């Protein structure tokens, strides 16, 4: 049934620093960009009119990008129209709020629901609430309280971030945690107050599917008989790529000369991701792995499912992940996952059933896990099939978007419900 325009509810998804319209794998674009875009498009199919707001970070970028009927990205000018690292964006947020308000006035739209993403957007949402009635839902994507436990140099913005994250948890109408582990961290490290619902991230189970390994390898020009371990993601120290490389060097399967390592992901020379890529390449060379390691760079949307299907195992060695989309993309492709035993990865990867979990930063444990899975093809295939089944049952975008849509409606109804007075006796 086609829904009349006037019946559709407006929602704004705000993602100040993660542009949902950019090519993923470029300029630090990763899970948050994917999440906002996918949630947006899925909600539009469910009858919402969805506007995704972000900061315009290139002079040549279009101000409005239409993704699908009733789903578009709107880029607001707030600060210089160039890439700014996320730790340096805070001072431009008041302008972002002003531009958001002006946009609403110009278009004659009022958003009764906003879903903010990452702490910068949480601040924007809390400011907007001062000017207009709305309900705010928020997804953290990363928690300062967790992140700062693990980094050596705490940035100057840390206090502001921690305050914003706490206030948001206590005042937003609802926080969307993407895993029980993330929810637990919010409660133990941020605040016991505030409402939290757990709704996982999802993935497109039609795009990521179990295709034939032989066909996938043919398409990519990869050897048929070689074992392939695959990493995809941003080049960031916290992704633990070093652990993977050191693990590969210790595997028996490598000593037998039957292993290839593919490390995919975009990077820019001289920027933080380019510096990390060079560091990793340095370790690869130092350990004598350059012959068996390839760096294909950013992998296009069309080829990414083919890479997952071509791999024998996908490795997610992050120091921490609130969710970790890569794990479910690999699983949807029928590829077992070896991941760090942390955060959302404990929720998505079932150790011994859909892959293996290892202590983070423990290259010996990762090496053993790689040998176990690559050393038993039958078990590898069984893990891959169970992985696919788990994603179909729990992490498809359609299911996730339906849970989010129900939540928005519920929160809106609670907020707008008239207060019922108790009848006096």
Largest CA distance in the chain: 84
- Interacting span for ligand UDP (CB under 6 A) from 242-250, 319-327, 351-359, 393-401: 319-327
Helices (H), 108-179: 118-131, 144-150, 158-171
- Residue closer to ligand UDP by CB (options 165, 368) is 165
Radius of gyration of the chain (CA): 22
C-alpha of 283 from chain center = 27
Smallest separation, CB 308 to ligand UDP (Å): 9
Minimum CB separation of residue 409 from ligand UDP in Å reads 27
Is there a contact between 185 and 175 (Cβ–Cβ < 8 Å)? no
Query: How many chain residues are in contact with ligand UDP, going by CB under 6 A?
Result: 20
Residues between 251 and 290 with contacts to ligand UDP, criterion CB under 6 A:
264-266
240 is an interface residue for ligand UDP by CB under 6 A: no
C-beta closer to ligand UDP: residue 126 or 228: 228
By CB under 6 A, tell whether 232 contacts ligand UDP. yes
Task: Give me the least distance between CB of 368 and ligand UDP, in Å please.
Answer: 24
Task: Tell the smallest beta-carbon distance from residue 98 to ligand UDP (Å).
Answer: 29
Q: Which residue number, 93 or 299, has a Cβ lying nearer to ligand UDP?
A: 299
Nearer to ligand UDP, 234 or 380 (CB): 234
Q: Does 326 participate in binding ligand UDP (rule CB under 6 A)? A: yes
Contacts 24+ apart (CB under 8 A), 97-106: 97/124, 97/127, 97/128, 100/12, 100/14, 100/53, 100/76, 100/124, 100/128, 101/128, 101/131, 101/132, 103/53, 103/74, 103/76
Q: Is 298 in the site for ligand UDP (CB under 6 A)?
A: yes
Distances (CA, A) of 188 to 128, 166, 318, 320: 28, 12, 21, 16
- What does each C-alpha distance from 68 to 21, 42, 132 come to in angstroms? 12, 10, 28
Output the six-digit token pair for 340.
């760090």
Burial level of 423, CB count in 10 A (0-12/13-18/19+)? exposed
Residue 40 touches ligand UDP, criterion: CB under 6 A: no
By CB under 6 A, name the one of 234, 380, 388, 390 that touches ligand UDP: 234
If the CB atoms of residues 166 and 234 are measured against ligand UDP, the closer one turns out to be 234
202 near ligand UDP (CB under 6 A): no
For helices 377-394 and 325-332, give the axis angle rounded to 10 degrees: 110
Binding window for ligand UDP (CB under 6 A); candidates: 50-58, 75-83, 110-118, 325-333: 325-333
Residue 345 binds ligand UDP, judged by CB under 6 A: no
Q: Which residues contact 79 (CB under 8 A, 6 or more apart)?
A: 55, 89, 91, 92, 95
Q: Does 34 bind ligand UDP (CB under 6 A)?
A: yes
At residue 350, φ and ψ (nearest 5 deg) are -95, 110
Q: How, if at all, do strands 293-297 and 113-117 pair?
A: unpaired
Of the candidate residues 15, 20, 21, 31, the single one contacting ligand UDP (CB under 6 A): 31
Residue 24 contacts ligand UDP per CB under 6 A: yes
Per CB under 6 A, does 304 bind ligand UDP?
A: yes
DSSP state letters, 26-54: STT--HHHHHHHHHHHHHHHTTEEEEEEE
The verdict on 13 binding ligand UDP (CB under 6 A) reads no
**Minimum distance of ligand UDP from residue 417's CB (angstroms):** 36
- Residue 360 binds ligand UDP, judged by CB under 6 A: no
Q: Residue from 120, 309, 325, 369 that binds ligand UDP (CB under 6 A)?
A: 325
Distance CA 295, CA 267 (A): 11
319 binds ligand UDP (CB under 6 A): no
Q: Which residue number, 256 or 300, has a Cβ lying nearer to ligand UDP? A: 300
The CA–CA distances, whole Å, from 396 to 31, 172, 195, 227, 399 equal 15, 26, 24, 29, 5
Give least dist CB 394 to ligand UDP, A: 16
Residues that bind ligand UDP (CB under 6 A): 24-25, 30-32, 34, 232-234, 264-266, 298-299, 304, 323-326, 329
């Amino acid at each position: 049934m086609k829904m009349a325009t006037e019946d559709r509810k407006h929602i704004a998804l705000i993602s100040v620093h993660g542009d949902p319209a950019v090519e993923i794998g470029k300029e630090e674009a990763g899970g948050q960009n994917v999440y906002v875009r996918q949630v947006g498009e899925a909600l539009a199919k469910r009858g919402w009119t969805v506007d995704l707001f972000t900061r315009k970070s290139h002079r040549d970028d279009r101000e409005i990008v239409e993704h699908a009927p009733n789903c578009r990205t709107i880029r607001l000018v707030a600060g210089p129209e160039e890439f700014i690292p996320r730790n340096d964006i805070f001072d431009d947020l008041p302008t972002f709020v002003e531009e958001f308000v002006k946009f609403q006035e110009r278009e004659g739209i009022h958003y009764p629901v906003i879903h903010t993403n990452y702490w910068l957007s949480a601040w924007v949402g809390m400011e907007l609430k001062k000017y207009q009635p709305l309900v705010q839902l928020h997804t953290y994507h990363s928690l300062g309280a967790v992140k700062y436990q693990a980094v050596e140099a705490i940035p100057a913005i840390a206090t502001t971030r921690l305050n914003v994250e706490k206030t948001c948890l206590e005042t937003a109408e609802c926080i969307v945690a993407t895993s029980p582990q993330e929810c637990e961290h919010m409660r133990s490290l941020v605040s016991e107050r505030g409402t939290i619902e757990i709704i996982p991230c999802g993935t497109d189970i039609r795009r990521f599917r179990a295709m034939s390994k032989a066909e996938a390898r043919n398409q990519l020009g990869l050897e048929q008989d070689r074992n392939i371990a695959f990493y995809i993601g941003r080049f960031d120290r916290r992704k633990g790529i070093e652990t993977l490389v050191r693990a590969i060097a210790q595997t028996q399967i490598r000593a037998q000369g039957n292993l290839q390592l593919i490390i995919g992901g975009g990077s820019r020379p001289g920027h933080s991701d380019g510096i990390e890529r060079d560091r990793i390449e340095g370790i690869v060379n130092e350990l004598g792995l350059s012959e068996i390691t390839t760096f294909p760079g950013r992998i296009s949307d069309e080829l990414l499912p083919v890479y997952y299907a071509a791999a024998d195992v996908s490795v997610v060695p992050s120091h921490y992940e609130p969710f970790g989309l890569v794990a479910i993309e690999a699983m949807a492709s029928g590829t077992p996952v070896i991941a760090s035993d942390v955060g959302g990865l404990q929720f998505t990867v079932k150790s011994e059933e859909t892959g293996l979990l290892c202590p983070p930063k423990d290259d010996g444990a990762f090496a053993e896990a790689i040998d176990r899975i690559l050393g038993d093809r039958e078990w590898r295939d069984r893990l891959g099939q169970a992985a696919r089944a788990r994603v179909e049952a729990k992490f498809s975008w359609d299911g996730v978007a339906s849970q989010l849509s129900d939540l928005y409606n519920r929160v809106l109804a609670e907020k707008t419900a008239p207060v019922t007075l108790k009848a006096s006796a």
